[in-house]
Amino acid sequence: GARAQKSSRQDKGDRKGKRGESTEIFCASNMATIDSGIILMPLYALASWTAMLKLQPGSYEIYVAAIGWAWALLNTVLKGNFDLGVVTFAFVIAAYGIERRAGLTGGIKVFECIASVAVANNFALVIFLWKDLKIQLSSSKSPAWLNVFLVYCITFAVYWALVAVRTYKRGESGYAVVY
């Protein structure tokens, strides 16, 4: 990373680190690293879409949202930048959690739809702000990561919009709705 390269430059001719290790081994600045997001973003998307396609509406959304909420919380805590997903995913968790306790009522269905659209809009916000975000992120992220992140955001904007549509249609084709 940047710190490893800096310390290697400071040591210049001195090949020994603080504990006597070679700075080449100690710093590992020449080794290629993979940001975990390049792997985790597509896996999360694949699992989420598989759940949508294979499971009944109302049975999986809370789990997909819980993972998204935890990820947003980690981003907020570890990077020090507030991730709006902490709020929007919390609404989805609350909405689908209430359904699990009270059943699907008209009001709960509206809450679930609004919460799902809020998450879709959160992902869409990245797409609309992409030109500036890409410039900002390119100083610390690889071009591959940037491409994966953009596709991830597009995918989840569509995903959560479809969750809202599917939730809206629940009760119209065999799903029990309590009013």
Packing angle between helix 143-169 and helix 130-137, nearest 10 degrees?
A: 140
Reading the chain (179 residues) residue by residue, the pLDDT tens digits are: 444 444 443 444 444 444 443 333 333 444 456 688 899 999 999 999 999 999 999 999 999 999 999 999 999 999 898 999 999 999 999 999 999 999 999 999 999 999 999 999 999 999 999 999 999 999 999 999 999 999 999 999 999 999 999 999 998 544 444 43
Vertex 169, ends 91 and 159: CA angle to 5°?
Answer: 55
The dihedral of CA 142, 148, 151, 153: what is its sign? Answer: negative
Tally the residues of the chain: 179
Query: 116-138 in b/e burial notation, b at 16+ Cβ within 10 A?
Result: bbbbbebbbebeeebeebbeeee
- The pTM assigned to this predicted structure is 0.77
